[in-house]
Structure 1
Amino acid sequence: MEFLLLVGCAVAPGIALMSFFYLRDRYDSEPLSLVGLLFFLGMLSTIPVMYLSDWLQQGMSSPYSRTFLAVALVEELAKYIMTIAIAMRHREFDEEIDGIVYAVAASLGFATLENIIKALVFGWETVALRAFFTVPGHALFGVAMGFYLGKAKFTASKKKRWLLFGCAFLFPWAFHGIYDALLVSGQQKIILTILPFMAFLWGLGLWKVRHAQARSPYKPLEERAQDV
């Protein structure tokens, strides 16, 4: 019974956050089959990505090199490739906010299985920390990724499209690297800056969601008139 409760608590943050961001797509919800596929593929990627990350870290002496070049880079690149390969050309990807929904799904799939593994290894003491920080962090990295992928999908300029594709990887990579670097610093004052950093990520992420919502072609005319 305790095992099931532990696993349930490890899964719950990912499901709750996925539901939250899925419901932000107010005007033309994405098919659950496609969202679920990305979530599932994100879960499948967790173990090979963790092994690759651990292997890369063996040749790095600096903890900051490991966080940016082995952990954040590998994890965000995996999510980036999955989202582009599965969702980018799908007919259901027909508005900017869809990029956010799909990237968050891939990110939270990864975070959920990682959370289960960490909970089983480290027990209850890791569940609360990861529920309030690590899993939301992955979701917010996904928001940054999906925001720029959504813009890239619908821009007419080829040059701007490639710039946006670059931003879709660079911003979540930077945010993830900074998050991990704060945690591995070993200094309490630096670790505590994770609180304002997470507040910043939430503020920025919710702004990006609202911005993408406002640009939806499915937004009712009466709501558009209120925005004028």
Structure 2
Amino acid sequence: MATHHHISVKKTGGVAIVALLITWIAMAFPVNATRATGALLGGILPALFWLWFWLREDKVHPEPKKIIFEAFIFGIIAVPIAIFFEKITFEFIGGLSLLLFFLWAIIEEALKYVAAFFAGIRTEYFDEPIDVVMYMISAALGFSAGENVLFIFSTFQTGTLADGLALLQLRFIGASLLHVASSALIGFSIGFSVGQKTWKRLLHLLVGLSLAFALHTAFNYFIMITEGKFLLNIFALLWVVIILIIVLFEKIKRAPFYIFSLQPKKPDS
């Protein structure tokens, strides 16, 4: 009975968090009910599709659904936190610049990692290299879902339904894959360093962070500063990275199966 009670509490807590986020978004971007529903579905459903797509890479020892769910929800929660710090950095820098986009990339990648850490990395369920990649991707897609909803709400408020649908198409492919790619690179850098010496783990992490920050910064810079003039180029680069990630998935699946624990106790189940 105690176990079922804990599950019920967690599910209730998750629903309550989502409800609070929806209420906050609706207050910040008042639109009619039809467009509000469209923005929510348009923001969350594409992220869930990509989540389903990437979870298929971990079929042998799949992660518990509740861990994936928590990482996704924590990723959504990270969005308003990111916006808060990004507004501060924008006011400090004083305008759009390469430095600003770099700082924004650090903020978002750090928050996505924190979401993945508290959902799965710190738990006993993290027992093989591929796990950390799945946690990072789940958190990244939660973050992407939260961003998508906000952007679509904002577009509905200032533009037309067609504008919102056009933005949805762009974010379905562009922003969603950007967050997956950058977070996955960090996840792979951690996963491939499992069992290595400290200096090798740090080197792997440094390479992963550098690639993630560079990709995230370049995407935002070319999309926002150049007003989409290099859109095809940056999308081509993004797809190259996605192909690389698929190759890395095949490699990490063949990595030794490590049993280790970062926490003495599993989360309630």
TM-score by length of 2: 0.74
Gapped runs of 5+ residues in structure 1? Answer: 219-228
Aligned pairs for 1:18-167 (under 5 A) are 18-60=51-93, 61-69=95-103, 71-123=104-156, 124=164, 125-152=166-193, 154-167=194-207
Distance (Å, rounded) in 2 between the aligned partners of 1:176 and 1:116: 20
Distance (Å, rounded) in 1 between the aligned partners of 2:210 and 2:235: 22
Distance (Å, rounded) in 2 between the aligned partners of 1:191 and 1:45: 27
Aligned in 2, Cα 1:182/1:109: closer, same or farther, shift over 3 Å? same
Residue 217 in 1 paired to residue 257 in 2?
yes
> 1:186 is aligned with what amino acid?
T
Q: Which runs of 4+ in 1 moved over 6 A?
A: none
CA contact (8 A) 2:222 2:229 kept: no
CA shift for structure 1 position 164: 2.2
Larger mean Cα displacement after TM superposition, 46-55 or 76-85 = 76-85
**Bigger helix fraction:** 1
Gapped runs of 5+ residues in structure 2? Answer: 1-33, 157-163, 259-269
Distance (Å, rounded) in 2 between the aligned partners of 1:121 and 1:62: 20
CA shift for structure 1 position 3: 3.0
Aligned in 2, Cα 1:128/1:155: closer, same or farther, shift over 3 Å? same
The alignment partner of 1:193 has SS state of helix
Residue 204 in 1 paired to residue 237 in 2?
no
> 2:97 is aligned with what amino acid?
P
Aligned in 2, Cα 1:2/1:81: closer, same or farther, shift over 3 Å? closer
Distance (Å, rounded) in 1 between the aligned partners of 2:202 and 2:179: 24
Q: Please, what is the CA RMSD of the aligned residues?
A: 1.9
Which residue of 1 is the match for residue 43 of structure 2? Answer: 10
CA contact (8 A) 1:185 1:191 kept: no
TM-score by length of 1: 0.87
Distance (Å, rounded) in 2 between the aligned partners of 1:122 and 1:141: 25
Q: Percent identity?
A: 20
Larger mean Cα displacement after TM superposition, 56-65 or 114-123 = 56-65
CA contact (8 A) 1:10 1:112 kept: yes
Distance (Å, rounded) in 1 between the aligned partners of 2:63 and 2:81: 28
Distance (Å, rounded) in 2 between the aligned partners of 1:83 and 1:200: 25
Distance (Å, rounded) in 2 between the aligned partners of 1:17 and 1:121: 23
> 2:106 is aligned with what amino acid?
L
Aligned in 2, Cα 1:62/1:49: closer, same or farther, shift over 3 Å? closer
CA shift for structure 1 position 67: 0.9
